Amino acid sequence: MDAALKAVEGLPADQGQLLGVVPLEGTDTALVIVAHTVRLGREPQDPVVHEGLTVDAVSRSALVDGRKIPLTYQEFELLAHLTASPGRVHSRGQLLRAVWGYTEAGSVRTVDVHVHRLRNKLGPYRDRIVTVRRLGYMYTRR
């Protein structure tokens, strides 16, 4: 890696590409121009398959017993988030931040309504989204 790039404060040593160095007139200082790549979002993952329920993040689809179920954007995000870590309890606040992107307190009722709608669409697998009293929701493979 180029020595000038290593000297750029705050840039991880294994990331970035030096585009140029511009000397600042009348000083011993230079402006270093760096392209820094940032990975946005999650890496594509293999589909989550639990018996008759399949959640595919790449195609953004969910299948129940081989049939595609129509999900809204938020319903799919909620299902994908819950199925990514079976057995983990997610508080309503955590789900608001992860699925809806709320950084401030939003209406936790939003989560309850979406879980209700999602359960209806999951049909025989509705009981896999478990309400953990006073805590939130959890996905289980049972």
- List pLDDT tens digits, range 42-95: 555 777 787 889 999 888 999 999 999 999 999 999 999 999 889 999 999 899
Of residues 37 and 47, more confidence is placed in: 47
Please report which confidence band the pLDDT of residue 18 belongs to, taking 50, 70 and 90 as the band edges. Answer: low
Highest mean pLDDT pick, 8-12, 18-22, 25-29, 52-56? 52-56
Q: What is the per-residue pLDDT for 46?
A: 76
Do 34 and 19 contact (CB within 8 A), yes or no? Answer: yes
Q: Which residue has the higher pLDDT, 107 or 139?
A: 139
Closest Cα to residue 53, out of 132, 135, 1, 122?
Answer: 122
Q: pLDDT tens, 86-135?
A: 999 999 989 998 898 876 666 778 899 999 999 999 999 999 999 999 89
Q: What is the pTM of this model?
A: 0.66
| pLDDT of 4 | 46
Cα separations in angstroms, 6 against 2, 10, 23: 7, 10, 17
Look at residue 109 in the predicted model and tell me its pLDDT. 84
Domains of the chain: 3-35 (no CATH), 48-139 (1.10.10.10)
HEC states along the chain? CCHHHHCCCCCCCCCCEEEEEEECCCCCCEEEEEECCCCCCCCCCCCEEECCEEEECCCCEEEECCEECCCCHHHHHHHHHHHCCCCCEEEHHHHHHHHHCCCCCCCHHHHHHHHHHHHHHHHHHHHHEEEECCCEEEECCC
